[in-house]
Amino acid sequence: MRKIGLICLLTLFICIFAETSVLAAPASYVVKSGDCLWTISNNTGVSVDTIKKLNGLNSNLINIGQVLILSSYSAPVVVQPAPVAAPVPVVVQAPASSAPTGSAVYTVSSGDSLWSIAQRYSTSVAKIKELNALTSDMLHIGDKLIISGTAVVSTSVSRSGYNITGLRVVEKAAQYLGTPYKYGGSSPSGFDCSGFTQYIFGQFQVYLSRTAASQYGHGIIVNKGDLVPGDLVFFNCSGSGISHVGIYSGNGNFIHSSSPSSGGVIYSSLTNGYYANTYVGAKRVIR
């Protein structure tokens, strides 16, 4: 009897230990503000390489609200949150002469990544990047992504009025953040303001004049309240006419090659005192 009792106690101990071990192993983690892969790894005991492999990550970039898988074993869920319906892509019917029809378009929201969007709509990151001519995994809240259908053309405009090529222009411009300011420069070795805009738009077969003042002669006038990513914004910084230009990037900001002292290509706000006071107007050169 004593031997049987010991066996029962040992069996009970093993079961409790096994159950505790399973519960201790986190199955997933929701990214919070200030998190990075290294801190998540330290807090959960799961290596950075394992987290990247389980989630198909090609870089260390993560987004607030993103759900990271931390174990190939799905631990029991105690509280089941109410199901959230996945956003339904909007079907954009555009004229056959200007854009593909029947394309599903998704608007990027906070916490989204290419991987999470691809999983949600049963497609691949590579396919989304191909359809949208993306050269990196970087996304911005409000971006319009083609999820299925035919690759967009340069005149494709989303239902919200955002020009798809305009968003790509901003993404291309962001690749040169930190490039030094160089008077008369118009290449990645150094840009002045109009050399920067001329170079970026030239990558999309939109050819601009060389100076800020002459670039103001392109396109159509856009009211400040109607700005969309990809519009050109102009300033009178010298007091004698248009002398500076940048590319509107959304949310009241623009990207430009500022000056040698400010770091070259940077983001600035249109509400900044200096730029708010010298703002002249905007032009849309992509339609």
100-127 pLDDT, tens per residue? Answer: 444 577 888 777 788 878 777 878 888 8
Closest CA relative to residue 246, chosen from 233, 229, 261, 231: 233
Question: What would the pLDDT profile of 73-82 be if each residue is shown by its tens digit?
Answer: 443 333 344 4
Is 280's pLDDT higher than 80?
yes
Is 223's pLDDT higher than 80?
yes
The reply to whether 150 and 187 lie within a common domain is no
The reply to whether 149 and 185 lie within a common domain is no
The reply to whether 185 and 277 lie within a common domain is yes
Count: domains in the chain: 3
Q: Which segment of 7-16, 36-45, 224-233, 236-245 scores lowest on mean pLDDT?
A: 7-16
Neighbours of 53 (CB within 10 A): 12
Alpha carbon separation from 68 to 27, 81, 109, 115, 173 (Å, rounded): 9, 17, 17, 11, 30
Q: What tokens were used for 135? A: 């050269």
The reply to whether 112 and 210 lie within a common domain is no
Give the mean model confidence (pLDDT) for residues 211-215: 95
The reply to whether 183 and 267 lie within a common domain is yes
41 neighbors 55 (Cβ within 8 angstroms):
no
Is 83's pLDDT higher than 50?
no
User: Looking at 8, 140, 218, 256, which residue is catalytic?
Assistant: 256
The verdict on whether 193 is a catalytic residue reads yes
Q: What pLDDT sits at residue 17?
A: 47
Residue 142 counted as domain residue = yes
Three-state DSSP state, 28 = strand
The reply to whether 102 and 68 lie within a common domain is no
The verdict on whether 256 is a catalytic residue reads yes
Confidence at 64, pLDDT banded by 50, 70, 90: confident
Residue 229 counted as domain residue = yes
Q: Which segment of 26-30, 204-208, 263-267 scores lowest on mean pLDDT?
A: 26-30
Confidence at 23, pLDDT banded by 50, 70, 90: very low
Closest CA relative to residue 26, chosen from 66, 78, 65, 86: 78
Give the mean model confidence (pLDDT) for residues 199-227: 92
Q: What residues make up the domain containing 146?
A: 90-162
The reply to whether 197 and 158 lie within a common domain is no
Q: Please tell me whether the overall predicted TM-score, pTM, comes out greater than 0.75 for this model.
A: no
Is 70's pLDDT higher than 50?
yes
The reply to whether 152 and 100 lie within a common domain is yes
The strand order across the sheet containing 232-235 reads 220-222, 279-284, 232-235, 244-250, 253-257, 265-269
**71 or 115, which is more confident:** 115
The verdict on whether 8 is a catalytic residue reads no
* Residue-averaged pLDDT of the chain: 76
User: Looking at 8, 36, 140, 244, which residue is catalytic?
Assistant: 244
Q: What pLDDT sits at residue 3?
A: 53
- What is the rounded distance in angstroms from the CA atom of residue 9 to the CA atom of residue 60? 47
In this structure, what CATH number is given to the domain that contains residue 50? 3.10.350.10
The reply to whether 187 and 263 lie within a common domain is yes
Question: What would the pLDDT profile of 149-202 be if each residue is shown by its tens digit?
Answer: 443 333 344 434 456 678 889 989 999 999 999 999 999 999 999 999 999 999
Helix (H) or strand (E) holding 11: helix 2-24
Contacts of 74 by beta carbon, 8 Å cutoff, 6+ apart = 27
Q: Give the domain-ending residue among 162, 190, 216.
A: 162
The reply to whether 141 and 105 lie within a common domain is yes
Q: What pLDDT sits at residue 54?
A: 77
The reply to whether 141 and 227 lie within a common domain is no
Helical pair 193-202 and 164-174, crossing angle rounded to 10 deg: 130
Residue 190 counted as domain residue = yes
Residue 17 counted as domain residue = no
User: Looking at 8, 15, 193, 218, which residue is catalytic?
Assistant: 193
The reply to whether 192 and 251 lie within a common domain is yes
